Amino acid sequence: MNERDPIRRFEAELVEFGIVDRAGIDAIRDSVRAEIAEAIAFAKESPAPEIANLERYVYTEPA
């Protein structure tokens, strides 16, 4: 992350304009990290997809 990182710059602007404080920014960053970690854990714990299901969800299955 350098000075031109748009996320960092946006955070700085939000703080500068008093829309959110540093603690608020950190809370958002923590929640995003947690969500990603949860998704990675979900992916690792899920069974590998069945090749037999390759064509599933290309189209909506008739009810």
Partner 1 sequence: MMDAATAVRELSYAQAIQEAMALAMEADERVFLMGEDIGVYGGAFQVTGDLVERFGPERVMDTPISELGGAGVAVGAAVTGLRPIFEFQFSDFAALAMEQIVNQAAKMRYMLGGAVSVPVVMRFPAGSGTGAAAQHSQSLEAWLGHVPGLKVIQPATPHDAKGMLLAAIEDPDPVMIFEHKLLYKMKGAVPEGRYTVPIGKAEVRRQGRDLTIVATSIMVHKSLEAAQMLAAEGIDVEVIDLRTVRPMDRETVIASVCKTSRLMCVYEAVKTLGIGAEVSAMVAESEAFDFLDAPIVRLGGAETPIPYNPDLEKATVPQVGDIVAAARALVTGAR
Q: What does the binding site for partner 1 look like in residue numbers (CB under 8 A)?
A: 56-61
CA-atom Rg of the chain in angstroms: 20
Q: Which is nearer to partner 1, 2 or 53 (CB)?
A: 53
In the complex, the smallest distance separating the C-beta of residue 47 from partner 1, rounded to whole angstroms, is 13
Question: What is the token pair recorded at 41?
Answer: 């854990």
Q: Residue 21 has which token pair?
A: 């404080």
CB of 51 to partner 1, least distance (A): 15
Least distance (Å) from partner 1 to the CB of residue 54?
10
CA distance linking residue 56 with residue 24, whole number of Å: 42
